[in-house]
Every structure is written in structure tokens, then in C-alpha cells.
Amino acid sequence: MIAVVTTLPSVFITAGVPYRLLDAGLFARGWGIGLSAMPAMTDAFRALEPAKVADATPQLNIVQRIGASMGTAIFAVVLQQGLDDAGVSPAGQADAFVWAFVWAFGVTVVAVFLAALLAVLERRERRARPS
């Protein structure tokens, strides 16, 4: 949720936004993502049977690396396309960054929704299991 909240202001960037404000928002976004990474991995491993942890470790590592690379590539393509269309206009360049952050915001909202859905489904499964 920290990543969602801290990405939202970036959707409203204009050519006159001070760099320090952008830096603070991006720092807070990175902080939010960083704070969520370890608990997510811990929860993923906790849900596994101990015998399956050795198999799941490389798989989770691969998913993280490929997902991060794909996300970076997609956002870079969106940004580059916007910058190509913007030319040298500062307002057009700011709009290009806005669209890249709109994509980042959308992906973050979807990720939070899916994480919440997984949490609900896991709780239901735990309640349904005999003790």
C-alpha cells in the first residue's frame, strides 16, 4: 500500500515540479517496496512444507528476477515512446513520465489486489484445514 500511495503523486507530474519532491516520492516508493519484499518471501516460504523449500527457492528467485527485468523493460519502453513523441518540450517530457508512472501505478494496484486476494484465500484454507 505504501508503494500505491507514494506512486500516485507521480501521476500528476508537471514540468514545474521540483526535483527534490520527485526524489522524495521515489525514495518513499522504493522504501515501501523494500519493506514488502522480505515479508512476502517469508510468507511464501512459510506456506510451504519443509521438504519443498529447496525446490521453491530457485523458482521464487527466478520469478523475482524475471519479473523485475520485465517490469523495468516495459516501463522503459512506455517512457521512451512518450519521450520520442514529446520532442524537446519540457511539458511533453513531463507527460511522458506521467504515463510511465500511470503504468507503474496500475501494476502496483493490481499487485496489491492480487496479494490481498491470496491472503484471503490462504486464510480460508487455513480455517478449512483440520487442526
pLDDT in tens, 34-88: 888 888 888 888 878 889 989 989 998 898 899 889 999 999 999 999 999 988 8
pLDDT band at 131 (very low <50, low <70, confident <90, very high): low
pLDDT in tens, 10-32: 888 888 888 888 888 889 988 88
Q: Give the integer Cα–Cα distance in Å for 122 and 88.
A: 50
Question: Is residue 96 over pLDDT 70?
Answer: yes
Taking the whole predicted model, whether its pTM rises above 0.85 is answered as no
Q: What is the mean pLDDT of residues 80-108?
A: 91
First-to-last C-alpha distance (Å) of the chain: 32
- The 10 Å Cβ neighbour count of residue 88 is 7
pLDDT at 79: 94
Q: Give the integer Cα–Cα distance in Å for 62 and 22.
A: 31
User: pLDDT higher for 106 or 33?
Assistant: 106
Place of cell 519484499: 37
